[in-house]
Structure 1
Amino acid sequence: MNDVNEPRSEHSDRTPRRGDGDVPRRGDRAAGGGRRDNSSYGERRGTRYDGTGAGDPGRRPAARGESAGGRGGAGRGAGQRTGASRAGQGRGDAAVDRRGGSSRGDSRAGGRQGVDRRTAGRPGQDARHAARVDEPTLPEDIEAADLDMEIRRDLRGLDKANAELVARHLVAAMYFVDDDPELALAHGRAAKNRAGRIGVVRETVGVLAYRAREWSEALGELRAARRISGGPGLLAMMADCERGLGRPEKAIELARGDESRQVTGEDLVELRIVEAGARVDMGQLDAALVTLQDAGADPEAVGEEAARLDYAYAEVLLASGRKDEAAAWFGHAVSADPDNHTDAESRLAELEV
């Protein structure tokens, strides 16, 4: 998820991406110069390691006059999804699947009532069609062509009209993800309702649910994506969902389990940051510091990964009551990342007041 917050008309990367990097992470700056205060991986809690409130990071008025009310009744939970017209129109008006979604009684030989198999829906199809009535409206200028080509290839197994609508819902989700995470999630749910067997769609819904702080739904969707696609990706986000659900011990199990041995590079850094946060949740402050030290926290290192580790280390120090040391490590984070990917500079300023 390299920055999904840039204007869609100017950037082709406002589309769902694979892997943990598709959501803002610890200390990420918001678009337009505003800065998020992320307590851990992504925007998991709205509180810092020291327990102080951080408000609602990264939220601004909804774009294009849309609001959270545009969710269209999509409820909480991994199984509740919405959908849109299969006719490929610019609006999300409901339409009945051409295969038919309801059973119809027929007079058969001998007067027995039966089901017309030509119009009978698959199990659960009626519920999916009903959900499509309430799907969020697609803005007219949201185009399927704006979706990442790799993901569009994944949608080729769908019929053309359905693939078009799934693609537009995914693009809309990434368009709204920063301004209105709930509306973005509603679009993701609409895509899943139409293409629930495609791994990247389930992954995207998981990421969107994570951004909307729907921890249980996010965890379920990310697990489903991994069952479909395989691989150790998304482990840090899944562990952070466990933290969000109040299960830090489960987060540590994921961070230290067999699958974690397959995680490398930036993903491993994020996983250790989440693990450190879980240890803070459990009051294991010294263990949290050791976790970040083992991950490579180094005041001399430079680059975005180094800045994230420095930032995390500073927060654990702050939670431990070591304010002066925390300020020093926030300073290291600023020095390590001249492009200011984190909000370490503002955190440092707060401590120096």
Structure 2
Amino acid sequence: MPTKGRLPEPAIEEGVTGKELDREVWTQLRTLSKENAEGVAQHLVMVAIRLAEDDVDGAMAHAETAVRRAGRVPAAREALGMVAYRAGDFARALAEFRTVRRLSGSSHLLPLMVDSERGLGRHERALELAASPEAAHLSAADQAELAIVVAGVRSDLGQLDAAVLGLERLVFGPVRPWSGRAYYAYADALLARGDETQARKWFAMAATADTDLETDAAERLDDLDGVTIIDSGWDEDAGEDADWDRDAEDEAPPIGDQDRGRQDGETHPATED
């Protein structure tokens, strides 16, 4: 039962203990009572679970609960900012990311702050933020993410050559964990500039490097090649129950022309997310 005066909290899934969080987050939670720290940890884990399920509303409920219980814990504010960012509420996301920076002294969310400014249509402010002194102290991974975001801002402003040039140091260096995303952004910038041949090359490289399927590089490549995706109508999850009853099939009357279209799969072009 919720404590008197406290808003009802979203349910925690069975088996979620909060111990799934990494040590750094638990270090932040040590400022809370043991009971509260454990509860907040469970809600933070649920935020990640709901986002993985694309349940943004569910994730928001858990993130807001975590912030109500631990408003000065950077991890809780970051979780709320992430959910707001996923929901496209860039003003709220930016406010939460700023709070995280103030509470923690870390600028690791700078790429998302820049992208939030971009989402709000404040492109010049986004570029100013990206050029702030804090950017020089980001990790290599965060600097790569920032370069990708800045390239998007440049493309929005019609600065297509600058978008391409800004990504070259990423794509022509050694392969890194973020290379798939960098190749994709570079291909997108090249395509916007009208270089379809080179764009196809880099979309292909992105599709190969993107083993975690973070991008739709394969679909973009198919689109450039004019490939269409055929829906066979086969349900892989149905298992043996989806097999045709061969005896029934032999006894069934022929499918009429007017019904055949409903049996055949539809053909449609692959689209960009």
Question: TM-score w.r.t. structure 1 length?
Answer: 0.59
Q: Deviations over 1:260-299 (max 9, x none)?
A: 1112411111101100101111111111112112x3322x
Q: Would the alpha carbon gap of residues 167 and 336 (structure 1) be closer, same or farther in structure 2, given more than 3 Å must change?
A: closer
Q: Would the alpha carbon gap of residues 202 and 337 (structure 1) be closer, same or farther in structure 2, given more than 3 Å must change?
A: closer
Aligned equivalent of 2:103, options 197, 215, 228 = 228
- 1:250-329 maps to which residues of 2 (within 5 A)? 250-293=125-168, 295-298=169-172, 301-329=174-202
Aligned equivalent of 2:73, options 190, 198, 203 = 198
Letter in 1 for 2:2: A
1:136 Cα deviation from its structure 2 partner: 2.3
Task: Quote the Cα distance in structure 2 between the aligned partners of 1:259 and 1:231.
Answer: 9
Task: Quote the Cα distance in structure 2 between the aligned partners of 1:301 and 1:146.
Answer: 32
Aligned equivalent of 2:204, options 331, 337, 341 = 331
1:302–1:335 contact (8 Å) kept in structure 2: no
Q: Would the alpha carbon gap of residues 188 and 309 (structure 1) be closer, same or farther in structure 2, given more than 3 Å must change?
A: same
Letter in 2 for 1:269: A
Look up the match of 2:219. Answer: 346
1:303–1:337 contact (8 Å) kept in structure 2: no
Task: Quote the Cα distance in structure 2 between the aligned partners of 1:208 and 1:339.
Answer: 21
Q: Deviations over 1:73-101 (max 9, x none)?
A: xxxxxxxxxxxxxxxxxxxx4312xxxxx
Look up the match of 2:24. Answer: 150
Task: Quote the Cα distance in structure 2 between the aligned partners of 1:338 and 1:290.
Answer: 25
Q: Deviations over 1:123-161 (max 9, x none)?
A: xxxxxx4xx424323334332333333322321222232
When structure 1 is superposed on structure 2, of 136-145 and 201-210 the one drifting more is 136-145
Task: Quote the Cα distance in structure 2 between the aligned partners of 1:182 and 1:282.
Answer: 32
Tell me which of the two structures has the higher relative contact order, counting C-alpha pairs closer than 8 angstroms and 6 or more residues apart.
Answer: 1
Look up the match of 1:172. Answer: 46
1:340 Cα deviation from its structure 2 partner: 5.5
1:229 Cα deviation from its structure 2 partner: 0.7
Q: Which runs of 5+ in 2 are unaligned?
A: 227-273
Aligned equivalent of 2:61, options 167, 181, 186 = 186
Look up the match of 1:37. Answer: none
Please provide the CA RMSD for this pair.
2.1
Letter in 2 for 1:347: R
Look up the match of 1:59. Answer: none
Q: Secondary structure at the match of 1:196?
A: coil
Structure with the higher helix share, 1 or 2: 2
1:185–1:212 contact (8 Å) kept in structure 2: no
Larger radius of gyration: 2
Q: Deviations over 1:331-352 (max 9, x none)?
A: 2323555676543223212211
Q: Would the alpha carbon gap of residues 163 and 337 (structure 1) be closer, same or farther in structure 2, given more than 3 Å must change?
A: closer
1:206–1:221 contact (8 Å) kept in structure 2: yes
Look up the match of 2:240. Answer: none
Letter in 1 for 2:223: E
Q: Would the alpha carbon gap of residues 327 and 234 (structure 1) be closer, same or farther in structure 2, given more than 3 Å must change?
A: same
1:303 Cα deviation from its structure 2 partner: 3.7
2:100–2:106 contact (8 Å) kept in structure 1: no
Task: Quote the Cα distance in structure 1 between the aligned partners of 2:200 and 2:39.
Answer: 49
Q: Deviations over 1:160-179 (max 9, x none)?
A: 32222211111111111122
Give aligned-pair identity as a percent.
Answer: 44
Letter in 2 for 1:308: R
Q: Secondary structure at the match of 1:304?
A: coil
Task: Quote the Cα distance in structure 2 between the aligned partners of 1:205 and 1:338.
Answer: 28
2:73–2:103 contact (8 Å) kept in structure 1: yes
Question: TM-score w.r.t. structure 2 length?
Answer: 0.75
Q: Would the alpha carbon gap of residues 264 and 157 (structure 1) be closer, same or farther in structure 2, given more than 3 Å must change?
A: closer
Look up the match of 2:10. Answer: 136
2:46–2:62 contact (8 Å) kept in structure 1: yes
Q: Number of paired residues? A: 225
Task: Quote the Cα distance in structure 1 between the aligned partners of 2:65 and 2:14.
Answer: 16
Q: Would the alpha carbon gap of residues 335 and 176 (structure 1) be closer, same or farther in structure 2, given more than 3 Å must change?
A: closer
Q: Which runs of 5+ in 1 are unaligned?
A: 1-92, 97-128
Task: Quote the Cα distance in structure 2 between the aligned partners of 1:218 and 1:261.
Answer: 23
Q: Secondary structure at the match of 1:144?
A: coil
Aligned equivalent of 2:3, options 95, 110, 116 = 95
Task: Quote the Cα distance in structure 1 between the aligned partners of 2:18 and 2:51.
Answer: 17
Q: Deviations over 1:5-49 (max 9, x none)?
A: xxxxxxxxxxxxxxxxxxxxxxxxxxxxxxxxxxxxxxxxxxxxx
